């Protein structure tokens, strides 16, 4: 069972995110419109500290919004990126990104959190796949989400798994469909070409245009596990170990394990592999919660609730500090700069 640090913190984060447990659409998760409004409300409540940038549009024309958190007037600093909902049905990822934002902006946070903005700027991307988010919402309004609905909810409006649409830095050494499929019907369909989708192409441009970003976390569900990039070197493994160790050390309850092996790992077309290999950004995929635990809590076969915990606040409270701690450690390991190509 996940332990929370304090009930008061849950109430603080809930208030900062601007939603109530009774008003949310898929209680306690927000509708697509409420999700966007929460971002705008957070920026309005913290003028100068939070800026919103639209870095592109989805297939369906929805804005791709990113929040820039920084100390006004401070000198340029290394930056970290945190993203959620690259898979449209994994709404807990969106809640995690928003909880991190609320925690960073909470003046009553502990010094280890408030100091983070003195060391790093943050780019927070709460929903990389807004069309998948909306498809999940629409299916949920019609009733329980079944397993056959998952591809439509998970992928973008072109039917592409955005987290298999990144370029492959090397060969796929373990030929499994999970590593990306050329079949459009597959839940892991990688698309007609790398970066073929407006969402991935826009985010790739964003990383090109913001070389100050040195570390990144993308939140997914489920598994209670951390997936660092596929590492071609011992140095890469050691860097990832330190980033993951900082995450684990800051978790008050269940400790996520690090899933990494130079022998049995392979490139999959996922974001963390591309960020490390192409840009020298120390990145990892963090899988929140456990499917069996989520299913037991909802006592149902609804795949929305199997992927998303009925009590997201318990998990966000558990992992928000951990995300901040791991990104600070990654920046320190890298000396505040991206890893040169020859050192990756």
First to last CA, the chain: 38
**Comparing 157 with 75, which gets the higher pLDDT?**
157
Name the E strands within the chain. 50-57, 63-69, 79-84, 121-125, 213-221, 225-227, 257-258, 282-288
As a whole number of angstroms, the distance between CA 261 and CA 27 comes to: 38
Q: What are phi and psi of 49, to 5 degrees?
A: -90, -35
As a whole number of angstroms, the distance between CA 197 and CA 203 comes to: 10
Q: Average pLDDT, whole number, for the chain? A: 90
Mean pLDDT of 53-80: 96
Greatest CA span in the chain, whole angstroms?
A: 53
Query: Three-class SS string for 148-167?
Result: HHHHHHHCCCCCCCHHHCCC
Taking Cα atoms as reference points, which of 230, 187, 192, 194 lies closest to residue 344?
Answer: 230
As a whole number of angstroms, the distance between CA 225 and CA 69 comes to: 27
* Contact assessment for residue 120 and residue 69, using Cβ atoms and an 8 Å cutoff: no
Scored b (16 or more CB within 10 A) or e, 253-285 reads ebebebbbeeeebbbbbbbbbbbbbbbbbbbbb
**Comparing 267 with 30, which gets the higher pLDDT?**
30
* Contact assessment for residue 268 and residue 203, using Cβ atoms and an 8 Å cutoff: no
Residue 154 has pLDDT above 90, yes or no: yes
* Contact assessment for residue 279 and residue 206, using Cβ atoms and an 8 Å cutoff: no
Q: What are phi and psi of 108, to 5 degrees?
A: -100, 10
Q: Which domains does the chain have, with CATH numbers?
A: 7-343 (3.40.630.10)
Residue 239 has pLDDT above 90, yes or no: yes
* Contact assessment for residue 177 and residue 186, using Cβ atoms and an 8 Å cutoff: yes
Burial label, 159 (beta-carbon count in 10 A; 0-12, 13-18, 19+): middle
As a whole number of angstroms, the distance between CA 215 and CA 207 comes to: 11
What is the model's pLDDT at position 216? 98
What is the model's pLDDT at position 9? 35
As a whole number of angstroms, the distance between CA 85 and CA 30 comes to: 13
Share of the chain above pLDDT 70, in %: 92
Mean pLDDT of 88-103: 97
On the CB side of 315, how many CA atoms lie within 13 Å of its CA? 28
As a whole number of angstroms, the distance between CA 170 and CA 274 comes to: 10
pLDDT band at 3 (very low <50, low <70, confident <90, very high): very low
What is the model's pLDDT at position 99? 97
**DSSP single-letter state for residue 344:** -
What is the model's pLDDT at position 112? 81
Taking Cα atoms as reference points, which of 90, 133, 181, 115 lies closest to residue 327?
Answer: 115
Whole-structure pTM over 0.85, yes or no?
A: yes
**Comparing 155 with 266, which gets the higher pLDDT?**
155
Determine which of 117-126, 173-182, 218-227, 266-275 has the lowest per-residue pLDDT on average. 173-182
pLDDT tens readout for residues 124-150: 999 999 999 999 999 999 999 999 999
Residue 19 has pLDDT above 70, yes or no: no
What is the model's pLDDT at position 251? 96
**DSSP single-letter state for residue 290:** -
Residue 11 has pLDDT above 70, yes or no: no
Mean pLDDT of 192-221: 98
What is the model's pLDDT at position 263? 66
Mean pLDDT of 187-200: 97
What is the model's pLDDT at position 174? 73
Determine which of 182-191, 241-250, 254-263, 304-313 has the lowest per-residue pLDDT on average. 254-263
Residue 162 has pLDDT above 70, yes or no: yes
pLDDT tens readout for residues 311-325: 999 999 999 999 999
Helical axes 32-45 vs 91-105, angle rounded to 10°: 10
Share of the chain above pLDDT 90, in %: 82
Mean pLDDT of 320-334: 97
Taking Cα atoms as reference points, which of 65, 72, 62, 60 lies closest to residue 42?
Answer: 65
């Amino acid at each position: 069972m996940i332990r929370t640090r304090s009930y008061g913190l849950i109430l603080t984060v809930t208030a900062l995110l601007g939603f109530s447990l009774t008003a949310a659409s898929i209680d306690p998760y927000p509708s697509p419109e409420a999700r966007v409004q929460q971002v705008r409300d957070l920026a309005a409540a913290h003028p100068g500290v939070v800026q919103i940038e639209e870095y592109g549009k989805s297939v369906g024309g929805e804005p791709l919004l990113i929040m820039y958190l920084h100390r006004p007037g401070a000198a340029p600093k290394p930056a970290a990126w945190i993203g959620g909902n690259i898979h449209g049905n994994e709404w807990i990822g969106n809640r995690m990104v928003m909880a991190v934002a609320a925690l960073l902006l909470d003046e009553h946070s502990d010094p280890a959190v408030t100091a983070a903005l003195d060391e790093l700027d943050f780019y927070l991307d709460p929903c990389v796949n807004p069309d998948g988010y909306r498809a999940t919402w629409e299916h949920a309004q019609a009733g329980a989400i079944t397993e056959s609905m998952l591809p439509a909810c998970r992928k973008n409006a072109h039917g592409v798994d955005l987290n298999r649409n990144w370029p492959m830095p090397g060969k796929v050494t373990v030929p499994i469909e999970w590593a990306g499929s050329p079949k459009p019907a597959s839940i892991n369909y990688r698309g007609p070409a790398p970066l073929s989708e407006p969402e991935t192409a826009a985010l790739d441009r964003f990383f090109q245009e913001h070389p100050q970003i040195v570390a990144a976390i993308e939140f997914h569900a489920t598994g209670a596990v951390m997936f660092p990039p596929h590492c071609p070197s011992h140095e890469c493994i050691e860097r990832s170990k330190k980033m993951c160790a900082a995450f684990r050390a800051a978790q008050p309850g269940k400790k996520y394990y690090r899933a990494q092996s130079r022998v049995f790992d392979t490139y999959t077309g996922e974001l963390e592999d591309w960020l490390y290999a192409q840009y020298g950004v120390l990145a990892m995929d963090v899988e929140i919660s456990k499917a069996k635990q989520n299913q037991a809590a909802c006592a149902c076969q609804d795949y929305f609730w199997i992927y998303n915990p009925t009590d997201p606040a318990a998990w966000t409270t558990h992992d928000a500090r951990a995300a901040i701690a791991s990104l600070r450690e990654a920046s320190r390991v890298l000396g505040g700069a991206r890893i040169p190509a020859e050192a990756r």
